[in-house]
């Protein structure tokens, strides 16, 4: 099963549907929105390094999740989108279990979102990715316009703002990646909505019409309650930055500890190997009963050194990136292995572009911490093997020496 071919076919299918069935009222749930959701799903999936099958599920669900708006009823667009996705996958001869996963991801986007696994969480967070971006203010205005066109009725600005604020306050991102990447901007968007609602309330009162009266006019249609004024919540920016700084420092400190432990094992076992080769082996002709214990001891020292060296051996990437990598957010400039072969001007340009995009910047920080953790896990796993070999090998070797001396003495 060629994942990329099927994903490309899904993109072509959905694009063709939007081109062949233009819907002037869909100014928000259109092909542009679908492409944005697919891009967000790709970004989140890249962080979690999904395998081909899981990647196929996420991409197909992202492409089809809102196609029901175009080819079905608005109220049941998730069901229609899932049905269209299954029909498409059937033509591609995709197994039923994958079809069910795609349907589950699409249905999980139904409000309120209730994902049950990582793939559904990724699609849900991708669908509402703009809640935590600077694009939210523009997108919510477009969605307001679409709802008015769909219902053929004007929705007062205060009414819309109140409902949107209630939605954002009740919403939460499901993946840890989006929680770390988008929460700060989402809090800023909530604060913007609160200020906007206050201004709209003051404007309504100046006209002699209280906000409660404005909401009451549309309450039978939208059933939105007026939110109570709340104290402004502190921004999460400083806390997020502290979290990144502390986590990164902890990982680096643990890495230094692992290297120190490996150095100790290398030094101790190098001395043991030197003593065995330089002193003991010359005496084996006189003490043949010590041959096996000596070989055990030597093997223990050599194997321990090997795993200790593996735990500290550096791994460097090619050290180059392209402008396409920066544009597609595919490289992490916070790790030296991705840029050490580049010129200063190229690296400075890449860093400047990354700093302009807070999503890319925080995403790179998350990747940096993640890869540090992966390296740490590998280091400590190999170091643990080295310590186990040394401990058990030392015990066995000493016992072998004792047995050789006591039970197989050399008669001079």
Residue 258 belongs to some domain of the structure = yes
Supply 151's token pair: 């219902």
The domain boundary residue, chosen from 223, 247, 278: 223
End-to-end CA distance of the chain: 74
d(CA 105, CA 61): 6
Q: Are residues 218 and 250 in the same domain?
A: no
Quick one: which of 312, 310, 307, 299 has its CA closest to 272? 299
Structure pTM? 0.52
The domain boundary residue, chosen from 223, 248, 275: 223
Boundaries of domain holding 369: 239-407
Provide φ and ψ at 250, rounded to 5°.
Answer: -65, -45
Q: Are residues 167 and 259 in the same domain?
A: no
The answer to whether residues 102 and 64 touch, using CB atoms and an 8 Å cutoff, is yes
Residue 229 belongs to some domain of the structure = no
Q: Are residues 211 and 246 in the same domain?
A: no
Residue 228 belongs to some domain of the structure = no
Report DSSP letters for 209-260, one per residue. --HHHHHHHHHHHH--PPPPP-PPPPPSHHHHHHHHHHHHHHHHHHHHHHHH
Provide the 3-class DSSP secondary structure of residue 96: helix
Residue 412 belongs to some domain of the structure = no
Per-residue pLDDT of the chain (412 residues; tens, 9 = 90+): 578 889 889 999 999 988 888 888 888 888 999 999 999 999 999 888 888 899 999 999 999 988 888 887 888 888 988 999 999 998 888 889 999 999 999 999 988 888 999 999 999 999 999 999 988 989 999 999 888 888 888 888 888 888 999 999 888 999 988 988 888 899 999 999 998 888 877 776 666 555 555 555 555 554 444 444 444 444 445 567 677 778 877 878 888 888 888 889 899 888 888 888 877 777 777 777 778 888 888 899 899 999 989 888 877 677 787 888 788 777 777 777 777 788 888 888 888 888 888 788 888 888 888 888 888 888 889 889 989 999 999 899 889 888 988 888 766 5
Q: Are residues 305 and 361 in the same domain?
A: yes
- What angle separates helix 176-206 from helix 31-48, to the nearest 10 degrees? 140
Q: Are residues 294 and 200 in the same domain?
A: no
The domain boundary residue, chosen from 223, 253, 286: 223
Q: How many domains does the chain have?
A: 2
Q: Are residues 251 and 304 in the same domain?
A: yes
User: What integer pLDDT is reported at residue 297 of this predicted model?
Assistant: 85
Q: Are residues 43 and 14 in the same domain?
A: yes
Residue 231 belongs to some domain of the structure = no
Q: How far is CA 366 from CA 3, 121, 247, 254, 301, in A?
A: 27, 18, 10, 18, 39
Q: Are residues 200 and 347 in the same domain?
A: no
The answer to whether residues 150 and 28 touch, using CB atoms and an 8 Å cutoff, is no
Q: Are residues 390 and 262 in the same domain?
A: yes
Q: Return all residues near 160 (Cβ < 8 A) that are at least 6 apart.
A: 144, 147
Q: Are residues 63 and 187 in the same domain?
A: yes
């Amino acid at each position: 099963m060629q994942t990329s071919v099927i994903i490309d076919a899904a993109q072509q299918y959905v694009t063709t549907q939007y081109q062949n069935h233009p819907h002037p009222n869909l100014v928000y749930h259109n092909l542009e929105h679908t492409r944005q959701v697919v891009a967000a799903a790709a970004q989140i999936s890249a962080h979690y390094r999904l395998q081909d099958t899981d990647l196929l599920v996420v991409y197909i669900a992202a492409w089809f999740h809102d196609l029901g708006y175009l080819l079905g009823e608005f109220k049941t667009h998730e069901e229609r989108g899932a049905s269209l996705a299954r029909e498409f996958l059937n033509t591609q001869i995709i197994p039923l279990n994958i079809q069910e996963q795609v349907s589950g991801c699409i249905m999980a986007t139904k409000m309120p979102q209730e994902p049950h696994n990582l793939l559904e969480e990724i699609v849900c967070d991708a669908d509402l990715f703009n809640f935590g971006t600077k694009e939210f203010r523009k997108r919510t205005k477009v969605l307001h316009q679409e709802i008015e066109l769909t219902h053929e009725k004007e929705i007062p600005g205060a009414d819309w703002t109140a409902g949107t604020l209630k939605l954002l306050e009740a919403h939460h991102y499901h993946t840890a990646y989006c929680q770390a990447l988008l929460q700060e901007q989402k809090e800023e968007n909530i604060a913007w909505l609160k200020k906007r609602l206050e201004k709209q309330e003051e404007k309504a009162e100046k006209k002699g019409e209280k906000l409660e009266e404005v909401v009451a006019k549309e309450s039978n249609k939208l059933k939105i309650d007026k939110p109570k004024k709340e104290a402004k919540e502190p921004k999460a920016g400083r806390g997020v930055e502290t979290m990144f700084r502390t986590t990164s420092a902890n990982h680096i400190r643990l890495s230094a500890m692992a290297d120190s432990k490996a150095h100790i094992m290398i030094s101790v076992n190098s001395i043991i190997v030197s003593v065995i080769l330089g002193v003991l082996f010359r005496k084996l002709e006189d003490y043949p009963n010590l041959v096996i214990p000596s070989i055990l001891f030597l093997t223990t020292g050599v194997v321990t050194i090997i795993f200790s060296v593996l735990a500290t051996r550096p791994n460097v990437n090619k050290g180059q990136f392209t402008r396409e990598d920066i544009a597609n957010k595919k490289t992490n400039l916070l790790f030296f292995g991705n840029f050490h072969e580049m010129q200063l001007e190229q690296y400075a340009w890449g860093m400047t572009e990354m700093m302009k995009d807070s999503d890319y910047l925080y995403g790179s920080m998350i990747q940096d911490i993640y890869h540090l953790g992966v390296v740490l896990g590998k280091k400590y796993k190999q170091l643990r093997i080295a310590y186990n070999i040394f401990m058990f090998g030392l015990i066995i070797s000493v016992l072998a020496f004792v047995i050789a001396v006591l039970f197989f003495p050399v008669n001079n």
